[in-house]
C-alpha cells in the first residue's frame, strides 16, 4: 500500500455492515485476546476495520475506564449502541462473551477431570502465581497514567497507599474503601481542578439537548 | 471442601452480592476480586482457595475478557453445591446456573449504567465533575489492581515454598511492566514451572 499516513487518516470511517457483522467482529476480537482484549480491540477496530478514529478510541476508553464494569465490555456496549442502538449493544456484548465463555468452561471441565492428578494441581499453582504477576504488572504499568493527574503525584501515592492497605492488608470491604478513599480523591481533584476550568466554562457547557448555557 | 447445598435464598444472596459488586467494579471486575474472595471463600465457604485462584488463572489463560473468571466462580459454586465433579449431570446443571447467576449479576447493573451514562459523559467530558471523578478515582484503580495481585499471590498457604511463588509473581510483574512479551507465554511458563515442581 503506497498510500501515505495523512491520506489514511482522511479516509472516511467504516461502520459494521449488519448486526451479524457486529457479533462476529466482536467474537473474533475476543477469541484473539489472550491475556486481555484491549490491544486487539485497538488494532482491529481502529487500524483494520476503521470503525472509529484513534481519538474516539481514547475518549471512549477514558469513559469505559471510569465507569464500573469490565472496560472492554463497556467499550463493546458503547460501540454497539452507537451503530445499532440498544440491540447493537446487546449483540456486541454477546459477541464478546458467548464463544469465549464456552472456551473457558471447556478448559475448566478439562482441569476438573484432571484435578486429582498432582501434576495438574502443581501446574495450576504455578499459573496462579503468574496470574497474580500479570495483575500486578498491569497495575504498575498504569501508574504512568497518574503522572498527568491534576492532584499531583504525592496525593495520588497517598490515595493508592490507603487503598492498598485497606483492601490487601486490613481486608476492609471494597465498598467502604471506594466510598471513603474515593470520596476524598474526587473531592480533592474537584478542588484542584477549580482554578483551571473557569475560563473554558461558558463555551464548553452549552447543553446540546436544551441549548442552555449554565451561568458560571 | 465441606459439602453444602444452596437454597433459593442463597442463590438470591449470591446474585445480590454480584449486583452490588458490579456497580463497584471500577477498573474491571478483577478489581472486585478481593471482595469476591472475602465473600465466597472466607465468609460463605462456597469455594476453596485453590478453586478461586485457578478460576482466575484459567480465565486469564483463555482468550476473551478476563471478566469470564466471574462465570467460572459461579460454575464452581454451583458444582460444589451439587456435590462436586462426582455429582454428575445435576452438579453440572447447577454449575451452569451458577454461571448465569454470576455473569448476569456482575454485568447487568454496570452495563445499564454504561449505556445511560456514556452519552451524557461524552457530551460533558469537559465538565469539572466528570474530570474530578476520573482524576480522583485513578489512583484507586491502580492500587486495586496491585492489591488483587497481592491477595492472589498470598493464597498459597505453604510458607516453606511460598518464596518461590512470590519470586515468580514478582518476575512476571516485571516482565509485563517492561516488555511486550505475549502474556500466554508467561501463563505457559507458570504451568511448566509448577509441573516440574519448581514452585
Q: How confident is the model at residue A112 (pLDDT cuts 50, 70, 90)?
A: low
Rounded CA separation B10/A33 (Å):
34
**Buried b / exposed e along A121-157 (16+ C-beta atoms within 10 A):** bbbbbbbbbbbbbbbbbbbbebbeebeebbbeeebbe
Q: Kindly determine whether residue A30 and residue B35, on different chains, have CB atoms separated by under 8 Å.
A: no
- Contacts with A155 from chain B: Cβ below 8 Å: 139
- Average pLDDT value for residue range A108-115: 72
Q: How confident is the model at residue A148 (pLDDT cuts 50, 70, 90)?
A: confident
Q: What is the pLDDT of residues B9-19, one digit of tens each?
A: 999 999 999 99
- Average pLDDT value for residue range B85-112: 93
Lowest mean pLDDT: which of A45-59, A98-112, A123-137, B62-76? A45-59
Distance from CA of A177 to the nearest CA of B (A): 9
- Contacts with B194 from chain A: Cβ below 8 Å: 122-127, 129
Cα distances (angstroms) measured from residue A63 to each of A147, A149, A206, B119, B134: 19, 16, 20, 10, 8
Q: What is the pLDDT of residues A196-208, one digit of tens each?
A: 444 444 444 555 4
- Average pLDDT value for residue range A88-111: 92
Reply yes or no on whether the pLDDT at B50 is more than 90: no
Lowest mean pLDDT: which of A33-37, A149-153, A188-192, B105-109? A33-37
Lowest mean pLDDT: which of A67-81, A104-118, A178-192? A104-118
Question: What pLDDT sits at residue B156?
Answer: 56
In a mutagenesis test of the A interface, which of B114, B152, B154, B165 is the best target, namely the one with the most A β-carbons within 10 Å? Answer: B114
Of residues B134 and A87, more confidence is placed in: A87
- Contacts with A112 from chain B: Cβ below 8 Å: 79, 85
Q: What is the pLDDT of residues A173-195, one digit of tens each?
A: 777 888 899 899 989 999 998 75
**Nearest residue to A161 via CA among A177, A150, A176:** A177
Q: What is the number of other CB atoms lying within 10 angstroms of the CB of residue A11?
A: 10
Reply yes or no on whether the pLDDT at B72 is more than 80: yes
Cα distances (angstroms) measured from residue B143 to each of A32, A128, A159, B39: 28, 20, 8, 20
Reply yes or no on whether the pLDDT at A36 is more than 60: no
Domain boundary assignment for chain A? 1-104, 143-193
CB B85 within 8 A of CB B75: no
Question: What pLDDT sits at residue A1?
Answer: 42
- Average pLDDT value for residue range A1-18: 62
Q: How confident is the model at residue B63 (pLDDT cuts 50, 70, 90)?
A: confident
Q: Is B111 strand, coil or helix?
A: helix
User: Helix B159-178 and helix A118-143: axis angle, to 10°?
Assistant: 50
- Average pLDDT value for residue range A64-72: 80
- pTM higher than 0.80, yes or no? no
Q: Which of residues 64-93 of A touch B (CB under 8 A)?
A: 64-74, 77-78, 81, 86, 89, 93
Q: How confident is the model at residue B161 (pLDDT cuts 50, 70, 90)?
A: low
B157 in reach of chain A (CB within 8 A): no
Q: How confident is the model at residue A3 (pLDDT cuts 50, 70, 90)?
A: very low
Question: What pLDDT sits at residue A135?
Answer: 76
- Contacts with A178 from chain B: Cβ below 8 Å: 24, 26, 140
- Average pLDDT value for residue range B175-192: 82
A-B contacts at Cβ under 8 angstroms:
397
Backbone angles phi, psi at A34, to 5 degrees: -80, 125
Reply yes or no on whether the pLDDT at A155 is more than 90: yes
CB nearest to A34's CB, from B24, B111, B182: B182
A112 in reach of chain B (CB within 8 A): yes
- Supply the DSSP string of chain A, one letter for each residue: ----HHHHHHSPPP--SSHHHHHHHHHHHHHH-BT-SHHHHIIIIIIIS-SS-HHHHHHHHHHHHHSBS-HHHHHHHHHHHHHHHHHHHHHHHHHHHHHHHHHHHHHHHHHHHTTTSHHHHHHHHHHHHHHHHHHHHHHHHHHGGGTT-TT-HHHHHHHHHHHHIIIIIS---HHHHIIIIIHHHHHHHHHHHHHHHGGGHHHHT--TTT------
Reply yes or no on whether the pLDDT at B122 is more than 60: yes
- Contacts with A148 from chain B: Cβ below 8 Å: none
Rounded CA separation B104/A96 (Å):
14
Find the Cα–Cα–Cα–Cα dihedral B144, B145, B149, B155, rounded to 10°: 40
Of residues A149 and A1, more confidence is placed in: A149
Residues with Cβ within 8 Å of residue B89, at least 6 apart in sequence: none
Reply yes or no on whether the pLDDT at A39 is more than 90: no
Q: How confident is the model at residue B30 (pLDDT cuts 50, 70, 90)?
A: confident
Q: Residue B31's beta-bridge partner residues?
A: none
B1 in reach of chain A (CB within 8 A): no
Reply yes or no on whether the pLDDT at B60 is more than 80: no
Look-up of cell digits 495483575: A135
Amino acid at each position: 500500500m503506497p498510500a501515505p499516513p495523512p491520506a489514511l487518516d482522511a479516509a472516511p470511517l467504516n461502520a459494521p455492515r449488519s448486526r451479524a457483522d457486529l457479533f462476529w467482529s466482536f467474537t473474533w476480537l475476543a477469541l484473539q485476546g489472550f491475556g486481555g482484549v484491549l490491544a486487539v480491540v485497538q488494532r482491529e477496530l481502529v487500524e483494520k476495520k476503521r470503525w472509529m478514529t484513534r481519538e474516539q478510541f481514547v475518549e471512549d476508553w477514558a469513559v469505559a475506564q471510569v465507569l464500573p464494569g469490565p472496560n472492554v465490555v463497556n467499550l463493546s456496549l458503547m460501540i454497539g449502541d452507537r451503530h445499532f442502538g440498544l440491540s447493537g449493544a446487546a449483540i456486541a456484548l454477546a459477541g464478546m462473551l458467548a464463544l469465549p465463555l464456552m472456551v473457558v468452561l471447556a478448559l475448566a471441565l478439562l482441569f476438573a477431570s484432571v484435578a486429582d492428578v498432582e501434576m495438574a494441581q502443581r501446574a495450576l499453582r504455578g499459573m496462579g502465581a503468574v496470574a497474580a504477576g500479570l495483575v500486578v504488572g498491569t497495575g504498575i504499568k498504569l501508574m504512568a497514567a497518574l503522572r498527568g493527574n491534576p492532584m499531583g503525584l504525592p496525593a495520588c501515592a497517598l490515595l493508592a497507599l490507603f487503598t492498598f492497605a485497606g483492601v490487601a492488608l486490613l481486608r476492609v470491604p471494597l465498598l467502604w474503601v471506594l466510598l471513603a478513599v474515593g470520596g476524598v480523591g474526587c473531592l480533592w481533584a474537584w478542588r484542584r481542578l477549580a482554578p483551571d476550568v473557569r475560563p473554558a466554562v461558558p463555551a464548553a457547557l452549552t447543553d446540546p439537548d436544551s441549548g442552555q448555557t449554565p451561568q458560571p | 471442601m465441606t459439602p453444602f447445598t444452596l437454597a433459593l435464598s442463597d442463590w438470591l444472596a449470591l446474585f445480590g452480592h454480584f449486583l452490588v459488586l458490579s456497580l463497584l467494579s471500577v477498573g474491571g471486575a478483577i478489581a472486585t476480586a478481593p471482595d469476591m474472595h472475602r465473600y465466597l471463600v472466607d465468609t460463605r465457604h462456597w469455594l476453596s482457595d485453590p478453586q478461586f485462584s485457578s478460576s482466575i488463572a484459567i480465565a486469564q489463560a483463555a482468550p476473551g475478557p478476563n471478566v469470564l473468571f466471574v462465570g467460572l466462580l459461579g460454575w464452581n459454586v454451583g458444582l460444589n453445591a451439587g456435590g462436586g465433579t462426582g455429582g454428575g449431570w445435576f452438579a453440572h446443571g447447577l454449575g451452569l446456573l451458577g454461571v448465569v447467576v454470576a455473569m448476569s449479576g456482575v454485568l447487568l447493573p454496570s452495563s445499564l449504567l454504561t449505556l445511560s451514562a456514556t452519552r451524557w459523559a461524552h457530551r460533558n467530558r469537559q465538565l469539572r465533575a466528570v474530570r474530578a471523578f476520573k482524576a480522583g478515582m485513578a489512583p484507586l484503580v491502580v492500587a486495586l489492581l496491585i492489591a488483587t495481585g497481592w491477595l492472589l499471590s498470598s493464597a498459597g498457604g505453604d510458607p516453606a515454598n511460598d518464596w518461590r511463588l512470590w519470586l515468580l509473581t514478582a518476575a512476571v510483574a516485571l516482565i509485563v511492566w517492561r516488555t511486550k512479551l505475549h502474556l500466554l507465554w508467561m501463563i505457559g511458563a507458570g504451568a511448566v514451572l509448577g509441573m516440574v515442581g519448581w514452585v
